[in-house]
Chains A and B, each alone.
Chain A
Amino acid sequence: MAFAAPQNPSRVHRIPQSKYIDAVRWLSPVSALDRFAAVAYYDTDTNSPSIEIICVDPNPQASSPILTPQSSWTPPSRISSLKTAHSTHQPILAAATFSGSIHILVSDLINGGTVESEATVSELGFHSGPVSAVDLREGGTECVSVGEDGRVNLVSFVGDSSKLSYRRIFDANGLVGYTAVKWASPSEFATGGYGFGLQWWDQRRPGGPVSQFKGNWCQGKTSGIVHSIDIHPSRKHTCLAGGSSGTVFAWDLRAQQQPIVLSGAGTGEAPISLLSESEVWEVQYDCYTRSSNIGDISSTRILPIMICSEDGILAVIEQGEEPLELLAEPCAINSFDIDQQNPSDVICSLEWESIAILTRNRTTNDFGFSIERPSFFWPVYLELLIVQYDYETLQESDNWTSVVTRK
């Protein structure tokens, strides 16, 4: 396996926690100095889940950043999905649980990072069984939740009522189970499920998915489950999905039934570089990595993406390029989040009860200024500005462990 190598090795800090980490998310900062993250913990000794707001102190003196817990909130059961909404004056969190409830939390970062439950849906008929995924709409007034029970619910929380109102968008009665969901626009969202199937929904056209990306496109060879979906705000026609067998593919709604496979399960054509053979738990567009292919920025090209996997890989994948491996851990990386304000920083939750914080080296671009722009600038900025980045040799050192565990 050959990987493109980063020229400036990024700094990685692994901070042991004494609890299992189900999910981790950055919170949009309120000031330039403080950085906060939300972490969903699960304490196996006491069987108690919790969501904590932690302050990430980069701590230049000490060897690793210091995580200081600010406040904690106890959900009724373990967290199955955690999402945050940016661009509000206070960060909003949506947490879905294994017991089938959804909680909207509001964190006050100015006054000591407290977190409190704003509203809850836990009615009996909301979801039967766990909620497998939830997504908050940007701006934070609505969230959509899906489950393996085949229910798609829309929860809106305008107003002050502590009971949320929800609307059943669809109920597949368990004939289809959904495992991932992501908003595309205020009225559209995409879901994913078994057999690498994807569905496109439009609230303006109720009664079922408006478009389906047929499952089982690899014809039973290495079929699997979609674990995570991302949709870039500037390219709403492309739905990016990651799932079993190291599969990362994109579905361009304009080219209906042909997947663009970025990694993993081949379609029988030329072997695509295999980054990982196990579950890809999360995919996100990586606004830090700039496309190295300057000539081709047509809208059909998939923007650089970051993935994390069960076999401990955190990597950046670009269409037609060698993947760039950022981390190769001996244990699984369950989730990660790219800081939208400082896209060089990535926070990951590792299977072995620790949090890793990765800082990619800041490079100045050809124009001589450092690249740092608020998140809402990114999409446009990305299209306009093309910068060549070089990366140094990846240190070969720590790679044997992943080789050992991957056999």
Chain B
Amino acid sequence: MGLMVLLIRVSGGDLLDGGVHVDDDADLDTRWCCEVGAAVYPFHHGLKSPISRLSISWSRGNSLRVSVFAAPSSVESVEDDAGGTVVEVKLGGGDGEISDAHWRRIAYGSVSPFALLQSRKNAISSLSKMSMNSSPYDADWWDYIMEYSKDINALLGSQKPASVPVIDDPKSVIVKGEEPTNLKAAWELLEMFYAEKPSHLCLPERLVDWLADFDSLFSGTHPTVHSKLVDFQKELVNLQVVEDNPKYWEVMSSALAVGWLDIVVKMLRLHGSYQLDQLSNRETENGLVEAVAVLISKMPRMRLDQEAGKLGECFKAKPDFVKAREKWRAQINKLDSSAFWFQCAHLQTREGLRSMLQIMLGNANSLCSATCHWIELYISHLLYIRPLTVGLESMYSLAQKSIQLKPMASAHRLMGLIIGILGENTEVVLAECLKGFGPWMVVHAIELLTAGSDHAEMLLLEERPNLGGINIEELHRLVYAQVLSSHPLTWQIAPIYLISCMKHGMVLLQILLSKQPVQHNQLLLKSIEICRLYELHSITANIMKIAGVHHWKHGRKGSGVFWLQQARDEYRLNRIAQQLFDSVGKTISDESFKQWEGLIQLLGSDSKTAGGLEFLHKYRDFKKSLQHVFDGKTTDAARRAVESLISLMKNPSTPQRFYLPLLYDSLKLLNWKDRPLLNVSQTNLLLTKLQDLSLARLRPDFIESELPPQALNSVRLALATNLGRAILEE
């Protein structure tokens, strides 16, 4: 089995810039790959013989179509060995965190919120045009933005619902919730900074909650409080006396520093002094532990709402909060300087509790040593040192300070995003979104970025000559639409994004629709449906024409005629009519008429939609009436047959090559026994047509009908006889 290695050097966004390296034994110099920044995509081509030729082209979406041709085998091995094979190689592993199917689900789900927000935006802007003085950013507007953000946020959760344990285990300190994702974390950051009404007073507490939900995401690249807790949780099961373990105190300090009060209090209650048999001789110690636990659970917090079961006392107004906080700090100070500490015999408990008090008092050194990376440090500062930080500027400088104290060892996409947001740098935020989370994120995040900030709106909506006159918002929408278009399942939601692009959207939509395959009705009808929605009638007609010709070519004449009829494409209908008449001349007999019946019914009697095929309808009628003549021999039936013969011969759409067969078929009418059925002018018409025919026969492209050689003469004779009889009659 041959293994092929495809090497593609990616540079500056241009794929296929380098070369394709073919190596049969897969013994690859991986060092070289790393040096040039190449991606290696191994695949099996399954060919036994050596490869002579290789062809690479783009396939749908992010995949390459690699055609591998085997060398023509010189040996007489006439096995059923394939001469070549075509393999699709999917480029890019995608986001490891979110599967392709989940990405598609997010894409589907975000269509409705996006479309709703766009329509509301349009409504508001048309409203504000009517009444000049009303501000577009009214209370409703923020509700709309928040609704949009919540809808999108709901899509980003993990697919599996969190399993809630029925029995509360006293020793499980971490409650496992929904599996967090970077994407959700990033969206929640954007939501809290851009979508919520600009009341930044509660931002610090929002960040605390955010970190509590998503700290585990940093565990992969950084040491975190969360990973410390997880490690300790494993040890905890085997520990007899927790308070003797220095890690117990360390983990609690860390958790306290980032404000996970519930966990800290729960862990404190695991302290040995709570056990009934020890309560009597460790009374003071237990009193101290409990005092700290109570202080922690009474911590004043500046936030709007408190989840049930969460610890801390909430304050909505700043003065109340400041007063309560002063009181709380005084209590801590009082406890810190109390004499009880000397009576506490257990060293670890004494030291541990006092270091926790230091954290609560906001000792910068304690905070720094308790936290692991700069975001944790930043959060601890916001909690214990500067809880009243207001405004992005001061938050940003605090973040800078935290980074100085705890430099980033490696960059994390969420950290970059936070810095961008705090630095109020829209370009950085966009770049981080694009780099870390892809085009979906950018398109949907722009809605939040521009929601309240005039500056961002100006930046993103300004038309740029270097982008071909479009703005950044449109650029990203177009990019995202392209991504959607490249997948056979998501292409049909691309139009929603394309029509929101003012400049190039419509043209790209037309191209997208024109490029859709027409083989299967379901897809074809979907394209037509989208055309109908956006009133792209010319595209509809084009698609129908393509479908018609496709079906026609594949022998599905009925379907072909139907689509060409729908497209009102008389030109092609006339063209295919000529081909169809060839087979009519041969096969249209009384037995095979049932086959034609369906097609003739489909054509209908309206000559406009049938084009040249109208002839078929009349021909069928003529044949039918002729049949009656042969069956019944009544003069009335014969008269009707003559009428349809004359109308056929008069009609310009009747092909000349049918003149003779028609007349030959109606010999019986021409030689009608009782009296001549055709009058002089009618006979003259037929004679003229016969004359036309003999002229036409001189042309090289004339197709001779398959009739006995004496046919022409017998028709001529019959017509001449009839003319004579008709003249006599008149």
Contact = CB atoms under 8 A, between A and B. Distances in A.
A85 B530 CA distance: 35
Interface stretch (B256-264, B555-563, B648-656): B555-563
Interface stretch (B323-331, B518-526, B685-693): B518-526
Interface stretch (B2-10, B138-146, B219-227, B591-599): B591-599
A31 to B, nearest CB: 28
Interface string A327-341: 000111010000000
- The A interface, classified by DSSP as helix, strand, loop or mixed, is loop
A207 B492 CA distance: 43
Interface residues of B, number: 51
A195 B562 contact: yes
A129 to B, nearest CB: 7
A113 interface: no
A18 interface: yes
Best-surrounded residue of A195, A212, A330, A334 (most CB of chain B within 10 A):
A195
Given A193-B558, A223-B566, A279-B525, A215 B601 contact: yes
A220 B565 contact: yes
Interface in B315-351: none
Interface in B533-563: 533-534, 551, 554-559, 562
A404 B496 CA distance: 10
A129 B529 contact: no
A91 interface: no
B533 A406 contact: yes
B489 interface: yes
A405 B492 CA distance: 11
A225 interface: yes
A108 interface: no
Contacts, number: 143
Interface string B113-140: 0011001000000000000000000000
Given A174-B557, A197-B598, A220-B609, A20 B489 contact: yes
Interface string A211-232: 0101110011001010000000
Contact of B520 (A98, A215, A407): A98
B654 to A, nearest CB: 20
Contacts of A330: 111-112
B521 A197 contact: no
Contact of B595 (A130, A172, A353): A172
Nearest to A402: B112
A334 B523 CA distance: 12
Given A197-B602, A407-B533, A129 B556 contact: yes
A15 to B, nearest CB: 11
Nearest to A400: B116
A177 interface: yes
Interface in A195-212: 195, 197, 199, 207-209, 212
- The B interface, classified by DSSP as helix, strand, loop or mixed, is helix
Nearest to B552: A174
Interface in A391-407: 400-401, 404-407
B526 A150 contact: no
A2 B287 CA distance: 70
Contact of B112 (A132, A401, A406): A401
A351 B161 CA distance: 24
A149 B555 contact: yes
B602 A215 contact: yes
Contacts of A174: 555-559
A139 to B, nearest CB: 30
Given A172-B558, A405-B533, A244 B525 contact: yes
B104 interface: yes
A225 B521 contact: yes
A345 interface: no
Interface residues of A, number: 59
A134 to B, nearest CB: 16
Nearest to A216: B604
B556 A150 contact: yes
Interface string A113-135: 00000000000000011101000
Contact of A219 (B595, B602, B606): B606
A130 B551 CA distance: 12
B558 A216 contact: no
Contact of A353 (B105, B112, B562, B608): B105
Interface string B97-113: 00111101100100110
Given A148-B559, A279-B529, A352-B108, A216 B595 contact: no
Given A219-B604, A404-B115, A404-B119, A277 B532 contact: yes
Contacts of B115: 401, 404-405
Nearest to A150: B558
Given A18-B101, A194-B562, A310-B526, A353 B489 contact: yes
20 contacts: A18-B104, A148-B556, A170-B594, A173-B555, A174-B555, A177-B559, A194-B559, A194-B562, A195-B604, A199-B598, A212-B598, A220-B609, A225-B525, A225-B562, A278-B525, A334-B522, A353-B489, A401-B112, A404-B115, A405-B496
Interface of B: 99-102, 104-105, 108, 111-112, 115-116, 119, 159, 161, 487-489, 492, 496, 520-522, 525-526, 529, 532-534, 551, 554-559, 562, 565-566, 594-599, 601-604, 606, 608-609
Closest 7 CB pairs of A and B: A18-B101, A176-B598, A208-B594, A352-B108, A216-B604, A194-B562, A175-B599
